[in-house]
Amino acid sequence: MNIIVCVKQVPDTTVVKIDPVKGTLIREGVPSIMNPDDKGGLELALRLKDQFGAHVTVISMGPPQADVMLREALAMGADRAILLSDRKFAGADTLATSYALSGLCRVLDYDLIIAGRQAIDGDTAQVGPELAEHLDLPQITYVAGARVLENGNLEVDKENEDGVQVLEVEGKCLLTVLASAFDARYMSVSGIMEAYDKEVEVWSADKIDVEEGKLGLAGSPTKVFKSFPKAMKAPGEVHEVTPEEAVELIVNQLKAKHII
């Protein structure tokens, strides 16, 4: 079984700060990490590899620095890593990004593609389904479990608001995975050593199956009109008081608001 796992390097948004004057992100000092849902996807691929001996290829699109994240994926147990890196991809929205990734997938052999549900910097959850459509593959999103059945089909648990749909899919497909369902393994010492002997392949746009006009900014239907820091409402009163006084304050407010 050949598995492609899509991963993205993202700033750790839990520590991102905003420049209050310019309204831009302060990127200095913000660590870059493998997107958590993508890491969950890699874990699922590696579990299938442990069970069935799959060949796992991690792919990413991004600047050359994403090499570090792909090395981490190799050290976790992935067999091959390809980074799509080319100025022609710059400014891509989700449609153009998924199109570029589809061009890479088309020149690789695969039985299964796994992506994270969404990236913590964009939170769109769009690249996975858009990629599936470009490749004319069935998709299952919000995946919390996957098993190979005796007939070779995949049985997948899809989480939704009111429960879990158990789905069976025939043939090739694309899954988008929830990090919370797949606790990712750590890099092993031998994995780290082996990762140094493996190469992160950096590919430009001319190595993949795409029309150039559909890449990057030119291939992106959506444009950012403006971005700005979120308006914060004025903070209310903060009291450092005894528990008795705290109860009094809260009860008075609840009465004033006609809640009790």
Partner 1 sequence: MDKKDYKNVFVFAEQRYGVIQPVALELLGKARDLADALGEKVVAMLLGEGIKDQAQMLIEQGADEVIVVDTPELKEFLSEQYSQAVGQIILDRKPSIVLYGATTIGRDLAPRIASRLKTGLTADCTKLEIEPDANNEPEFRMTRPAFGGNLMATIICPNNRPQMSTVRPGVMQKMQRQAGRQGIVTEFTPKFDTSKFKVKLVKFIQADKQMADISEAKILVSGGRGVHDKEGFDKLQALANVLGGQVASSRAMVDNGVMPHECQVGQTGKTVRPNLYMACGISGAIQHLAGMEESDFIIAINKDKFAPIFSVADLGIVGDLHKIVPMLTERIKKELEK
4-23 residues near partner 1, rule: CB under 8 A: 11, 13-14, 16-18, 23
Rounded Cα distance, 31 and 98, in Å? 25
CB atoms within 10 A of CB 79: 16
Residue 14 or 197 having the CB closest to partner 1: 14
Task: Tell which positions 133-162 bind partner 1, by CB under 8 A.
Answer: 133-134, 136, 138-142, 155, 158-162
Site for partner 1 contains 222 (CB under 8 A): yes
Q: What beta strand segments (E) does 20-149 contain? A: 25-26, 32-34, 55-61, 80-84, 112-116, 139-148
Site for partner 1 contains 253 (CB under 8 A): yes
Site for partner 1 contains 3 (CB under 8 A): no
Q: Which listed residue (51, 87, 90, 123) binds partner 1 by CB under 8 A?
A: 123
Q: Which listed residue (164, 186, 194, 204) binds partner 1 by CB under 8 A?
A: 164
Which of the 8 DSSP states describes residue 251?
H
Q: Which listed residue (20, 29, 163, 213) binds partner 1 by CB under 8 A?
A: 163
Q: Which listed residue (21, 206, 211, 260) binds partner 1 by CB under 8 A?
A: 260
Looking at 45-53, 67-75, 197-205, 221-229, which segment touches partner 1 (CB under 8 A)?
221-229
> By the 8 A CB rule, do 160 and 36 touch?
no
Task: Tell which positions 24-83 bind partner 1, by CB under 8 A.
Answer: 25
Site for partner 1 contains 238 (CB under 8 A): yes
Rounded Cα distance, 172 and 167, in Å? 14
Site for partner 1 contains 128 (CB under 8 A): yes
| Cα 81 to Cα 87, 108, 146, 214, distances in angstroms | 20, 12, 23, 24
Compute the C-alpha angle 225/226/231, nearest 5°: 140
Q: End-to-end alpha-carbon separation of the chain, Å? A: 62
Looking at 43-51, 67-75, 195-203, 229-237, which segment touches partner 1 (CB under 8 A)?
229-237
- Interface mask toward partner 1 for 178-197; x: CB under 8 A: --x-----------------
Q: Is 258 exposed, middle or buried (0-12, 13-18, 19+ CB in 10 A)?
A: exposed
Rounded Cα distance, 50 and 46, in Å? 6
Site for partner 1 contains 89 (CB under 8 A): no
Looking at 1-9, 44-52, 131-139, 194-202, which segment touches partner 1 (CB under 8 A)?
131-139
Residue 150 or 197 having the CB closest to partner 1: 150
Q: Which listed residue (121, 145, 148, 202) binds partner 1 by CB under 8 A?
A: 121
Name the one residue in this structure whose structure tokens are 């997938």.
105
